[in-house]
Amino acid sequence: MGLKDYKEKRDFRKTKEPSGEQDGGRANLFVIQKHDARNLHYDFRISVDGVLVSWAVPKGPSTDPSEKRLAIRTEDHPLSYADFEGVIPEGEYGAGTVMIWVRGAYENLNEDERVAEGLKKGHIKINLQGEKLTGGYALTETNKEKHWWILVKTRDDAVDTRRNPTSTEPRSVLSGRTLAEIKKEEKEDE
């Protein structure tokens, strides 16, 4: 997709979101940002060919393979977005509070093709190595027109059907703050 859609949707004079002008490196990076916009959701992002390929996951990721989660493909984001935590102002695209809920590295579990090729075919399988999430996850496209995918935990040693990290681990891995604390501190800094 590239960053054209990302840049067209934002006024960088008003938002603190990164413009992506000087991105570099950081291959195999993943980040999941908790985003309290019109609806609370989780933005699942992985670095592929110099951008963060992104999905909005309304219920967030699960550690239970029996739970399939809707993941709606959104525009690619710059790699520097993996460091963004703060408030997107009212009137701007995606207005609301953004937290770095988890981030780390990932590895492609499909040895036969690159992640970019899997994306084009509509299926990728990756292994996450983060503080709150580890192990395999698969993303499968289910509706090309609506950009719908399904995110599911694969069966491996990291499966935990009793654990619900989206509700039990509400703090940022970057700052240790909750969404409410980020919003309050940003307003105080204005």
The conformation of residue 6, written as its DSSP 8-state character, comes to H
Torsion of the alpha carbons at 154, 172, 174 and 99, rounded to the nearest 10: 90
The pLDDT score that the predictor gives to residue 190 is 67
Report the distance separating Cα 89 and Cα 3, nearest Å.
20
CA distances to 91, 124, 132 from 97, rounded to whole Å, are 13, 29, 20
Question: pTM higher than 0.85 for the full model?
Answer: yes
> What is residue 89's DSSP assignment?
P
Q: Could you count the other beta carbons within 10 Å of the beta carbon of residue 145?
A: 5
Residues of the chain with pLDDT under 70: 1, 22-25, 190
CB contact at 8 A, 105 and 136: no
Per-residue pLDDT tens digits for 58-101:
999 999 999 999 999 999 999 999 999 999 999 999 999 999 99
Residue 89 has, within 13 A of its CA and on its CB side, a CA count of 11
Q: Give me the pLDDT at residue 40, please.
A: 97
Helix or strand run (H / E) with residue 55: strand 51-57
